[in-house]
Structure 1
Amino acid sequence: MDHNPDVAGHAALAICESLLLALNDRRILPEQEILGILQDAAAAHENASETSGNPVLHQEVANLIHHIIDSGNSVRRI
């Protein structure tokens, strides 16, 4: 089954967001740890952008994650 990579990326993002929200709602992970997960993911892509064959893609992913964090993503309760 062939899928557009954008569709797969959107699906993965939606699934991960739902999982993080559920973990927070059930008080399994506090908000600060969830934000730490997002920050770690951004850092991993920033580091990969320095050594990867596609640095622009990794930097764009890191930028998107930072935007989610900075824009008061739905995980935040503030």
Structure 2
Amino acid sequence: MSEQRDAAGMAALSICEALLLALQDRNLLPEREIVGVLRDAAATHENAQDPEDERKLHGAAAKLINEIIIGGNLSQRS
């Protein structure tokens, strides 16, 4: 089950990143709005009130989202 969950998470991340990039490429959302969406997503995970084992997963998700923001993956891609 964990492997399936990891695959689902990777797929969801790829789809969301592609959608955000498409929105930016087509000038439908400025970069600051996209960063705002990512910050909101990170905050949701940071503030999760689930059981301890789930909070660790939320913490990892928030860390990953914040790394995407810091890394500038949306504007600094090839």
* TM-score, normalised relative to structure 2: 0.86
* Number of equivalenced pairs: 72
Distance in 2, Cα, partners of 1:12 & 1:20: 12
The answer for unaligned runs of 5 or more in structure 1 is: none
Once the two structures are aligned, what percentage of the paired residues are identical? 56
Which residues of 2 match residues 67-78 of structure 1 at below 5 A?
Answer: 67-73=67-73, 75-77=74-76
Which residues of 2 match residues 1-78 of structure 1 at below 5 A?
Answer: 4-48=4-48, 51-53=49-51, 54-73=54-73, 75-77=74-76
- Per the TM alignment, residue 71 of structure 1 is displaced from its structure 2 partner at its CA by 1.3
* TM-score, normalised relative to structure 1: 0.86
Which consecutive aligned stretches of 4+ in structure 1 deviate over 2 angstroms post-superposition?
none
CA RMSD of aligned residues (A): 1.2
